[in-house]
Structure 1
Amino acid sequence: MRALVSAGLSVILMALPMSTPAQAKAQTATESHMPAARELAELVNTATTLEMQVNKMLAGMAGHAFTADPSMAALGEEYPGVDKVFVETLRPLIMDELTRIMPEYIETTAAFFARHYTPSEVGELLSFWRSPTGRALLQSVSGNLDYASISKEAVDQLQESDTVDVSGEAMAKDRRRAAVAGLRELTPEQRKAVMRFGMTPIGRKMARLAPEKNELERQWANREPSAELMARIEEDVSQAVIAFIEAEDRKRAAAQ
């Protein structure tokens, strides 16, 4: 369930082709440096993007769970539509949890930016991601992030235990597919602009830092959800599924 709760936080930032990983020199973040870094973190993690990612993540998780898990597959076969009830009930609970922890996530991401980028470099990144090309890239890549590898890995792990540990490999696969598909959706001029940005010093530095940024995202994707959320899931999802099944049984009985 941890993956269901937190994987939606993994909004892609490193959309440009990655170079060979290299150790980047970190710097000390200062309070004067943080506002711009925080603005950058918020820019690439908008509420609209987050909601879209949660919708895709839940759909992917439910699709795999109601196929791979024998008991859930049997339930879905006996009561078509129960998977939609599962997703629709879970979505607002997940969004509430993400809204609660998002300020901490933004601060963590901002601190990462402030440690590794100078104020001037943060300004360059802000300029790019605010530009029409940067906004189009974020939208297209986010729109193509389907969480297929993460979903499959999580469901497979849940067949063996009650815990999920999202791997960096699964996250990287999903991101690579999304980046390739997202770039294809851009106009030729936008693709040229992205490639030009990737060849700049800040673009190359962003690519070098990708492995470290990805590890930060992986850690967040494996955070334990709050006890309150788990209690709400147990109660709300169970009640919704039971109510759906009972309603279907009544319909079938009335039709006989």
Structure 2
Amino acid sequence: MRALITASLGAVLFVLPAASTAGETVPVAAPTDSHMAAAIELARFVNGMNQIDQQAERMLTTIATHAFTTDPNLAALKQEYPGIEKLFLDTLRPIMTSELAQILPEYNQAVGEFFAANFTTKEIGELATFWRSDVGQTLLRSVAGHMDYASSAKEIVTQLDQEGAPEISGNAVEADKKKAVSKGVRELTPQQRIAIMRFGLTPTGRKMTRLVDQKNEIDRQWMNRDLSPATQARVERELGDALLGFIEEQERQRSAKP
């Protein structure tokens, strides 16, 4: 269940032209207060543009659709009790929204620390200038709109009958991002794509490309983050009660029919 709620945090942050990964990225000096503040502010802005709440909704819907289609037990339940998939989504949606509101500040902090550890104050400013530009914002919205989490959802569903919480792999995170990037960039104008390529060829753009794997690993860890005990208890209680009540009501209606 943890991935169902938090996988939306794998939103694409960086979409830059492919560049050579040769050479190491040297960490910057220990960040000053102003350096860290700029890094966290950039993280907040980019995460906000990625529409994480909407992506969480999309992730939840994708998982539910895949699960109720491919898992034999859930598919049988859906056939026996039409409407139960919608109930599943409607019950989890407010729980998911609440959990995201609680963990988003921590995620912003983690992403901010990533920026601060790898980029100078000047480079953070260059990243902020690009992402706040019309082209940067259009790119973020376009890519975020194409995140369907199909690979991540497939991995979650295939692990439903296994012990332990589902685990989303780095390969799934990368596959979902690459597909969204490909579709998102195709929607841009030639002029916008040229502007993105120009930034991607700058020293800061090339550094960001070299760090994509590191950023993906941060996202993977957060996507697999355990729910808080309170949220886990709420999922078990509210989802269980809702599903049981729905089934009982369906059975009563069937019994009442002549």
Residue of structure 1 aligned with 2:37, choices 6, 26, 35: 35
Q: Distance in 2 between matches of 1:239 and 1:21?
A: 51
Secondary structure of 1:32's partner? helix
Task: Report the counterpart of residue 21 of structure 1 in structure 2.
Answer: 21
Amino acid across the alignment from 2:11: V
Q: Distance in 1 between matches of 2:8 and 2:18?
A: 22
Task: Report the counterpart of residue 74 of structure 1 in structure 2.
Answer: 76
Residue of structure 1 aligned with 2:199, choices 194, 197, 203: 197
Question: Is the Cα–Cα contact under 8 Å of residues 12 and 50 in structure 2 kept in the other structure?
Answer: no
Question: Is the Cα–Cα contact under 8 Å of residues 18 and 210 in structure 1 kept in the other structure?
Answer: no
Q: Distance in 1 between matches of 2:214 and 2:113?
A: 13
* Structure 2, unaligned runs of 5 or more: none
Give, in angstroms, the shift of residue 42 of structure 1.
0.5
Residue of structure 2 aligned with 1:140, choices 142, 151, 156: 142
Secondary structure of 1:55's partner? helix
Secondary structure of 2:163's partner? coil
- 1:146-185 to 2 correspondence within 5 Å? 146-185=148-187
Task: Report the counterpart of residue 46 of structure 1 in structure 2.
Answer: 48
Give, in angstroms, the shift of residue 127 of structure 1.
0.8
Between the two proteins, the alignment pairs up a number of residues equal to: 256
Task: Report the counterpart of residue 215 of structure 2 in structure 1.
Answer: 213
* Structure 1, unaligned runs of 5 or more: none
CA shift digits 1:236-255 (9 cap, x unpaired): 11122223223333444455
Amino acid across the alignment from 2:246: F
Over the aligned positions, Cα root-mean-square deviation in angstroms equals 1.6
Question: Is the Cα–Cα contact under 8 Å of residues 29 and 111 in structure 1 kept in the other structure?
Answer: no
Shift of the 166–21 alpha-carbon distance from structure 1 to 2, 3 Å rule, reads farther
Amino acid across the alignment from 1:147: Y
CA shift digits 1:104-131 (9 cap, x unpaired): 1111111110111111111111111111
Q: Distance in 2 between matches of 1:251 and 1:164?
A: 36
Task: Report the counterpart of residue 64 of structure 1 in structure 2.
Answer: 66
Secondary structure of 1:158's partner? coil
CA shift digits 1:193-213 (9 cap, x unpaired): 111111111111110111111
CA shift digits 1:166-193 (9 cap, x unpaired): 1110000000000000001112221111
After TM superposition, the runs of 4+ consecutive aligned structure 1 residues lying more than 6 A away are none
Question: Is the Cα–Cα contact under 8 Å of residues 11 and 44 in structure 1 kept in the other structure?
Answer: no
Give, in angstroms, the shift of residue 48 of structure 1.
7.3
Q: Distance in 2 between matches of 1:158 and 1:21?
A: 36
Give, in angstroms, the shift of residue 17 of structure 1.
3.3
Q: Matched residues, percent identical?
A: 48
Shift of the 188–254 alpha-carbon distance from structure 1 to 2, 3 Å rule, reads farther
Give, in angstroms, the shift of residue 155 of structure 1.
1.1
Secondary structure of 2:47's partner? coil
